[in-house]
Amino acid sequence: MLRILLALLLATFAGPAFAQSVIQTDNVRVELVSDVATVKPGEPFWVGLRQTIRPKWHTYWKNPGESGLPTEIAWTLPAGAKADAIVWPTPSLFDIGGVTNYGFKDEAMLLVRITPPADLAGPLKIAAEANWLVCEDVCIPEDGKFELTLPSGAATTPAPPAVRALFEAARRRVPIESPWPARYGVSKTGDPTLIVEAKSLKPDTIRDVYFFPAEWGAIATMAKQTASVTAEGIRIPLRKGEAKTAMPERLAGTLVLTEKTADGTVKQAFDVSAKLDPAFVPTSASLAGAATGEQLSLVQALLFALLGGLILNLMPCVFPVLAMKAAAFARLAGHGQAEMRRDGLAYTAGVLVSFAAMAAIVVSIRASVGDVAWGFQFQSPVFSLLIAYLFFTVGLNLSGVFEFGGRLAGVGQGLVARGGMTGAFFTGVLAVIVATPCTAPFMAAALGFALSQPAPATVAVLLAMGLGLALPYLMLSMTPALQRLLPRPGPWMDRLRQFLAFPMYASAVWMIWVLTQQTGSDGVLYALGGMILIAFAIWLLRLGGGASLGSWMRRGLAAAAVLLAFAATLKLDDAPATAASASGGQTSGVNFAGWERFSRARMAEAVAAGKPVFVDFTAAWCITCLVNERVALETPASRRAFEQAGVVKLKGDWTNRDDEITGVLKEVGRAGVPLYLFWAPGADRPKILPQVLTEAMILSELSSIQQAKR
């Protein structure tokens, strides 16, 4: 329908133009040029319709994609002359508001071979009427009439050097004929897979592969292409387009390869014609249908977020802070009901304000750089170090090493569960900070929905999750009957407070371990050195106050020590990363024993071979991921079942940012790790497993494969 409307616009609004060799509009300069100055009767030569396009605007290829219209040329030639079809340059891909277009920016030359009459006597007159569509945010149909008059002679005379240079550049942009055989097959779901037997390619040098179908309709141009390059050639799973007709006997198009060479990155384009192979019925590693069973409405997402926030209270990463909050409530048990309510409201406010701030950060990052995911801040070594400092300082406070005083009393009281609205507020903030590495049931679908929706929905879902996290303590503070279940205050509270310091120290150690995976051993040096400086600053401040010169010097030294500790964050980006993505080797944080490292190419290759495939997306800072490995994925029974079923096990490490893994998360509608994908043998789409696994779940998934083998 969109194409019909554009055609009508082109016919209706294209203004009149008088014949000339150059047409200048507001958006495109178009000229008709020839590679010869004199023609020889019967001897072919080339003309080119050259488009010089306004910056940020584009014209269209022969297959324009989901919208647009290709440039068309109608020729008027003397009797006996012939104009061949347009030879198109290699197109570029444009994503215009989620709509995929194929076309040209800056400049394009459409080449046409002209054969003059063999009996030509006198000059050759060439007339052409061209129509084109030029688009940015809006599309404008334009046209022009062009004429060239070329003298004839006994021999061809070449055009001036500047014009010949234009044609040489244009020919370099034309795809060459593919030297490799190609075929394609159609899956049971109707989706084609293209195989180009480019066995001469070196897979590790290919950086990108894209196939531009020559005709609209057979292939869905908006579907993401994920090619795999192996020693056997190139495999590109595609999606069936909107055409109602059967797949063509031959699938034609332009294959563009981006290859890394010693001289830099090089793009090459090849015209491919793949014959339909009825015996080839492929399976694919497409993720497009993986999330279709869990498409949520806003109301469902809000409910899932609330439930996920509630369950988050039971996750191991949040327990230390919530235990502190419970102890604070017990301390308030002997106080008035009004004070309990204020404390619960302040804690809830801290949680909600933190989730609102997180939503604002997510929305702003998404608007500026694109994809963002749950727990993204833990991919920053600076954030990991600051959180390690925070856990260490809170642990010292709980151990009784120091008490916050003066202007910092409110924060300190909250962090050590001594009461006070400011303290309760900051306890809520701390609970949100430590909650982000965890993912609870119901959270995955809700977060995936939130991070793909407009800003109001993102904020609403994250606030619902925050309300779920705060709800148990809010209800406790508002319900006298529940408060009577709390134990009476006593000496046990001081012992509990001191005991709770140790989970905070353990959390600090964990964050240092995460930092090691991100920066190497240098990160440990900065973290431990910074903690010594923080402890030194606290010791100086405990020596006494007053207004004496010595007191001011101690305060100055303490401030300098803290500043020096925080200055370590400036060096973290220079520390050598140990992530697998940096070196291609093993990391000490994510255990790859018995697993292959994830790549889309390896995943596609294994699925295409009809093998069962299990993909584990994890991170060193993801506690839920680590627990799942211990209790479900790495038990002796699970390892034995994986081996007996012949499962290809792939593991993706998302400790540091990895755009390939982020893309997979987005495709399946998930906001973060853990993510578990399982392909049964011959399956076209993966099954998404729950984010909290048990050994029984894994054995159940694998049992059907083992039974089929018997």
Do residues 112 and 188 both lie within one domain? no
With 0-12 / 13-18 / 19 or more C-beta atoms within 10 angstroms meaning exposed / middle / buried, residue 190 is exposed
The answer to which of 204-218, 413-427, 446-460 has the lowest mean pLDDT is 413-427
Cα separation, 38 vs 48, in Å, equals: 16
Do residues 18 and 154 both lie within one domain? yes
Its domain, for residue 234, covers 182-276
pLDDT mean over 458-477: 91
Residue 89 lies in a domain: yes
Bridge partners of 255, per DSSP, are: 211, 270
Mean pLDDT of all residues belonging to the chain: 83
Do residues 170 and 190 both lie within one domain? no
Model confidence at 504, pLDDT cuts 50, 70, 90, reads confident
pLDDT mean over 432-457: 78
Instruction: Count structural domains, the chain.
Output: 3
Cα separation, 381 vs 512, in Å, equals: 10
Position 433 pLDDT exceeds 90:
no
Using the 3D structure, point to which of 145, 174, 203 is the last residue of a domain: 174
Do residues 85 and 204 both lie within one domain? no
Position 445 pLDDT exceeds 80:
no
Residue 355 lies in a domain: no
| 90-148: pLDDT as tens digits | 999 998 877 899 999 999 999 999 999 999 989 999 999 999 999 998 999 999 999 99
The answer to which of 115-129, 336-350, 370-384, 615-629 has the lowest mean pLDDT is 370-384
| 238-259: pLDDT as tens digits | 988 888 788 999 999 999 999 9
Do residues 160 and 195 both lie within one domain? no
> What is the model's pLDDT at position 69?
94
Residue 238 lies in a domain: yes
Position 13 pLDDT exceeds 50:
no
Do residues 10 and 150 both lie within one domain? yes
Residue 345 lies in a domain: no
Sign of the C-alpha dihedral computed for residues 427, 428, 431 and 432 taken in this order? negative
Comparing C-alpha atoms, which of 11, 4, 2 is closest to residue 141? 11
Comparing C-alpha atoms, which of 444, 473, 114, 118 is closest to residue 328? 473
> What is the model's pLDDT at position 167?
97
> What is the model's pLDDT at position 634?
93
Position 584 pLDDT exceeds 60:
no
- Name the residue type at position 298: L
Model confidence at 638, pLDDT cuts 50, 70, 90, reads very high
Radius of gyration from C-alpha coordinates of the chain: 33
Do residues 654 and 590 both lie within one domain? yes
pLDDT mean over 398-414: 53
Cα separation, 30 vs 43, in Å, equals: 26
Proportion of the chain above pLDDT 90, given as a percent: 40
Residue 26 lies in a domain: yes
The answer to which of 304-308, 311-315, 542-546 has the lowest mean pLDDT is 542-546
Model confidence at 583, pLDDT cuts 50, 70, 90, reads very low
Q: Which residue would you say has higher pLDDT here, 72 or 507?
A: 72
Do residues 219 and 153 both lie within one domain? no
Q: Which residue would you say has higher pLDDT here, 42 or 244?
A: 42
Comparing C-alpha atoms, which of 55, 29, 26 is closest to residue 140? 26
Residue 48 lies in a domain: yes
Contacts of residue 599, defined as CB under 8 A and 6 or more positions apart, other chains included, come to 650, 660
Using the 3D structure, point to which of 223, 242, 276 is the last residue of a domain: 276
Sign of the C-alpha dihedral computed for residues 516, 520, 521 and 524 taken in this order? negative
| 344-353: pLDDT as tens digits | 899 899 999 9
The answer to which of 75-89, 167-181, 338-352, 412-426 has the lowest mean pLDDT is 412-426
> What is the model's pLDDT at position 324?
67
> What is the model's pLDDT at position 573?
56
CATH number for the domain that contains residue 638: 3.40.30.10
Q: Which residue would you say has higher pLDDT here, 525 or 331?
A: 525
pLDDT mean over 537-550: 72
pLDDT mean over 393-400: 85
Do residues 117 and 243 both lie within one domain? no
Do residues 104 and 64 both lie within one domain? yes
The answer to which of 26-35, 207-216, 575-584, 679-688 has the lowest mean pLDDT is 575-584
Position 48 pLDDT exceeds 60:
yes
> What is the model's pLDDT at position 123?
94
Helix (H) or strand (E) holding 143: strand 139-150
Cα separation, 350 vs 328, in Å, equals: 15
Helix orientation angle between 521-542 and 501-519, rounded to the nearest 10 degrees: 140
Comparing C-alpha atoms, which of 255, 237, 227, 128 is closest to residue 184? 237
> What is the model's pLDDT at position 461?
92
Do residues 170 and 188 both lie within one domain? no
CATH number for the domain that contains residue 246: 2.60.40
> What is the model's pLDDT at position 285?
64
Position 370 pLDDT exceeds 70:
no
Model confidence at 587, pLDDT cuts 50, 70, 90, reads very low
Look up residue 493 and give its two tokens: 């509270």
Residue 380 lies in a domain: no
With 0-12 / 13-18 / 19 or more C-beta atoms within 10 angstroms meaning exposed / middle / buried, residue 639 is middle
Q: CA triplet 662, 664, 668: central angle to 5 degrees?
A: 120
Buried b (16+ CB within 10 A) or exposed e, 274-295: bebeeeeebbbbbbbebbeebe
| 693-707: pLDDT as tens digits | 999 999 998 987 766
Do residues 623 and 700 both lie within one domain? yes
DSSP result, 307-340: HHHHHHTTSTTTHHHHHHHHHHHHHGGGS-HHHH
| 667-692: pLDDT as tens digits | 787 778 889 999 888 777 888 898 88
Q: CA triplet 256, 259, 261: central angle to 5 degrees?
A: 150
Cα separation, 59 vs 64, in Å, equals: 9
Cα separation, 12 vs 25, in Å, equals: 17
Neighbour count for residue 95 (Cβ, 10 Å): 10
| 151-206: pLDDT as tens digits | 999 999 999 999 999 999 999 999 999 999 999 999 887 889 999 999 888 887 88
pLDDT mean over 272-278: 95
> What is the model's pLDDT at position 552?
81
Using the 3D structure, point to which of 122, 154, 174 is the last residue of a domain: 174
Residue 453 lies in a domain: no
Cα separation, 540 vs 537, in Å, equals: 5
Range 449-452 contact pairs with CB under 8 angstroms and sequence separation of 24 or more: 449/296, 449/298, 449/301, 449/304, 449/669, 450/301, 450/305, 450/671, 451/362, 451/366, 451/372, 451/373, 451/374, 451/671, 452/666, 452/669
